[in-house]
Amino acid sequence: MKAMFTSLLGGALFLASAVSAQAPSSTPPPAEAPGWSIKDFAALPLMHAPALSPNGLHIASRVAVNGEQLLVIADVHDGPNRVRSIAMGDNDLNWWQWVNDEWLIAGIGAESNVQGMPWYVSRVASVKRDGSKINVLAKSAAAQNADDVIWVARDGTPRILLSYQTSIFYSDPGFWPKVDEIDVSTGKMHGVTAPRQYVRNWYADATGAVRMGVGYNDNTRTSKLLYRPDGRATFRVVDRADRRRDESLVVPLLFTADPGKAIASDDREGTDALYELDLATLELGSKIFSVPGFDLGGVTEDAAGTGVAGVRYTADAPAVHWFDANLAKIQADIDKAVGDRRARIVSTSRNGQRMVVHVGTPDQPGAYYYYDTDAGAMSVLSRVSDRFTTKTRLAPVKTIRYKARDGLEIAAVLTVPAGRDAKNLPFILMPHGGPFARDAEEWDWWVQFLAWRGYAVLQPNYRGSSGYGSAFAEKGEGQWGLAMQDDLNDAVDWAVKQGIADPKRVCMAGASYGGYAAMRAAQRDAAKYRCAISYAGVSDLAAMMRYDRRFLYHSTRKDWMKEQAPDFAAVSPIHFAGQFATPILLMHGKKDRRVQVSQSREMAEKLKAAGKVAGRDYIYVEQPLADHHFSREADRLEFLEKLDAFLKEHNPA
């Protein structure tokens, strides 16, 4: 059968005929002439993280409309009012999930002034599918944090379990979250689990029984695990851990149909793997799945919520292992059909008949497709970009490995300009943020822009990065700005030795921790870099810790930071403004809630006080409406324009 489906492109409706095949054609089309502009690379994704309703007939997604991101609900088939956009105002849209075929929930957040201090307040809003009704759940009862949904009914009723605070004061019992069952269609709620001192996280099984709680005392650095075999029994403490002795608790990822069993993740063999867990003894049993050399990511539950349908992980590129035989076959069929492109099943209906599939490559943003397995047809929902079609192939991307000076092998993602020999190129080293994060072979708008401008870009997963096991992560302890910085310099040396990089045309650029590394490069290793670019970078570790005092578990966070950087002052660029000897571009969003804007603002002030000349030695740009994540297209565009102009002056391609 063939059908017509809605495609959301910049908020407009576009009808695309279905492809009566298992997947899009795998024949690589000819590359388009690269007549693009900076605006093309700065454009927000037209669609992001689409989620299907349980029946698979409705989609909720983040969609770009006029440079802003909105929650959009769409019906797959033609019908009246088939597309509704939900504006969140000044609230952040953090996540969304269907409850049943008529209702979905969304996590929202906003900064509020509480007793003269800026606080981030989170809530859950329920949204009726036709957009006619929105309820803010626990609106008057909740305090600061109220978006922890620990269970969603699977029987079609509009019920969830919400864990939330009722007080902002540490001494009040309501500071520790309680659990209520809420009817999202009416907002009515009733109590399920009372608050317990120090317990911040509650866990429920597939039936909605709250079975487990994890408590943590920041003063003593000790944890406790509360457990009960069903929803009626009394909670008892079944395990304890002391962080000062490097102890940790094993917490289930999900409870199985057997009430005495669960599935958990553990890194006892060096990398995260899935294991069976005996809840009576808290002993790990048989290993279910692992990927040698790489940690596992999130799991996808089966329709009943009592088993794992699939587990995601990232090797050189994102991948998935399906335990569900139907999904495994569908994945294999689509993979075969798309050739060198990569297919990812993003969301499925409850019965597995209908699904959303993303098809793309690291050099192509790709498109989302709607696949009805009974109809045997896959049809376009939306391209990720209306600037780069599914025929576009930009700069090629691959993973390389190099040796650091101490012999440690490090993986890095290399992107080179399309149609150019990878020889003696102007070079951008781009360390990722985190630093407990990693880069992989994926579409990256910032990297592809730089490659379009003629630069080779290398993204090292330096020591301390996530995804490569506990030993690799631990090698970053105590090495902020030291061995971690050496790993970045060693990446440059590798690229020069390979003949890829022109050693006289190298710049470092990064955001968040990557921005910190760029500042450190300008201060510590200026002879190696012609320029540096920091977006939302950290310049002062001690100031970051002072800011963190306002948050729960600050003491533990400070312990962790001291493990990463024992001497804050010695590796904080703000104390060495006079040593900056390469031009640097500093940019920061004023609405950044992850890294305070003062981190870049005060760095610029220190540079000025040290005699550095604005416009020559440094440029500081503060974006009044920008956050940490480039959520607005206008901020992306301004960033790329400033970046482009800075590179043309200091490291032209």
Cα(597)–Cα(158) distance, integer angstroms: 41
Rounded average pLDDT over 381-389:
91
**pLDDT beyond 50 at 26:** no
List the alpha helices (DSSP H) in 143-284: none
State whether 535 and 639 are in the same domain: yes
Does the pLDDT value for residue 309 go beyond 70?
yes
For residues 187-200, give the mean pLDDT. Answer: 96
Task: Measure the N-to-C terminal CA separation of the chain; round to a whole number of Å.
Answer: 51
Which of 175-179, 564-568, 585-589 bottoms out in mean pLDDT, i.e. has the lowest? 564-568
- Angle at which helices 633-650 and 445-452 cross, to 10°: 40
Q: How far apart are CA 48 and CA 95, in angstroms?
A: 11
Same domain membership, residue 434 and residue 540: yes
Q: What number of other Cβ atoms are within 10 A of residue 182's Cβ?
A: 25
Whether residue 356 is found in the same domain as residue 502: no
Query: Does 554 score more than 80 pLDDT?
Result: no
How many domains, the chain? 2
Burial classification of residue 549, based on how many CB atoms lie within 10 Å of its CB (0-12 exposed, 13-18 middle, 19 or more buried): exposed
The residue among 356, 383, 410 that closes a domain is 383
Q: Single out the residue in 354, 383, 412 at which a domain terminates.
A: 383
- Does one domain contain both 146 and 274? yes
Same domain, 112 and 248: yes
Residue 391 lies in a domain: no
Ranking 18-22, 303-307, 498-502, 514-518 by mean pLDDT, the lowest is: 18-22
- Reported as a pLDDT band with limits 50, 70 and 90, residue 330 is very high
* Adjacent-strand bridge partners of 410: 402
By the 10 Å C-beta count (0-12 exposed, 13-18 middle, 19+ buried), 111 is classed as middle
Question: 126 and 182 share a domain?
Answer: yes
* Averaged pLDDT for residues 413-427: 96
Same domain, 377 and 499: no
- Mark whether 374 and 416 lie in a shared domain: no
Banded model confidence at residue 549, pLDDT cuts 50, 70, 90: low
Residue 404 CB contacts under 8 Å (≥ 6 apart), including other chains: 410, 463, 483, 486, 487, 490
Q: Is the per-residue pLDDT at 171 higher than 90? A: no
Does residue 75 carry a pLDDT above 70? yes
Judge contact between 417 and 456, C-beta under 8 A: yes
Lowest mean pLDDT among 21-25, 43-47, 102-106, 417-421: 21-25
pLDDT digits (tens, 9 = 90+) for 235-250: 999 999 998 898 889 9
Same domain, 427 and 377: no
pLDDT at 429 over 50: yes
Same domain, 349 and 438: no
- Calpha distance 432→370 (Å, rounded): 33
Q: Residue 389: inside a domain, yes or no?
A: no
- CA 351/CA 75 separation, integer angstroms: 18
Q: What is the pLDDT of residues 454-463, one digit of tens each?
A: 999 999 999 9
Structure confidence at residue 22 (pLDDT): 33
Segment 204-233 shows an average pLDDT of: 94
pLDDT of residue 8: 25
Q: d(Cα 612, Cα 72) in Å, to the nearest integer? A: 48
Report the mean per-residue pLDDT for the chain.
91
User: Which segment of 12-26, 81-95, 269-283 scores lowest on mean pLDDT?
Assistant: 12-26
Q: Is the pLDDT of residue 116 over 90?
A: no
Both tokens assigned to 119: 């606080």
> Using one digit for the tens of pLDDT, what is the confidence trace for 633-647?
999 999 999 999 999
Bond from prior residue into 460 cis (ω within 30 degrees of 0)? no
Domain membership of residue 294 (yes or no) is: yes
Residue 601 confidence (pLDDT) above 60:
yes
Is the pLDDT score of 129 beyond 90? yes
Q: Is residue 388 part of a domain?
A: no
pLDDT score at 15: 22
More confident residue, 115 or 648: 648
Q: Which two tokens stand for residue 332?
A: 């294999």
**Structural domain containing residue 173:** 4-383
The answer to pTM > 0.85 is yes
Environment class of 551 (CB within 10 Å of its CB; exposed 0-12, middle 13-18, buried 19+): exposed
Please give the pLDDT value at position 551.
67
Question: Per the domain annotation, does 18 fall within a domain?
Answer: yes
DSSP 316: S
pLDDT at 334: 94
pLDDT exceeds cutoff 60 at 515? yes
Domain end: 349, 383, 417, which one? 383
Q: What is the mean pLDDT of residues 244-267?
A: 93
Q: How far is CA 377 from CA 9, 24, 358, 393, 536, in A?
A: 21, 10, 15, 25, 44
Residue 40: the pLDDT is: 96
Say if residue 103's pLDDT is above 80: yes
pLDDT over 90 at 432, yes or no: yes
Query: Does any domain span residue 470?
Result: yes
CATH number (domain holding residue 603): 3.40.50.1820
Whether residues 404 and 286 fall in one domain? no
Average pLDDT value for residue range 171-185:
95
Percent above pLDDT 90 for the chain: 81
Is residue 390 assigned to a domain?
no
Mean pLDDT to the nearest integer, 349-378: 94
Work out the average pLDDT over 471-479: 96
pLDDT given for residue 9 in this prediction: 25
Instruction: List the CATH number of the domain containing 275.
Output: 2.130.10.120
Residues 487 and 426 reside in one and the same domain: yes
pLDDT over 90 (residue 86): no
Over residues 145-168, mean pLDDT: 96
**Which segment, 26-35, 46-55, 549-558, is predicted with the most confidence on average?**
46-55
- Does position 78 have pLDDT exceeding 70, yes or no? no
Tokens matching residue 568: 């804050």
Average pLDDT over every residue of 343-371: 96
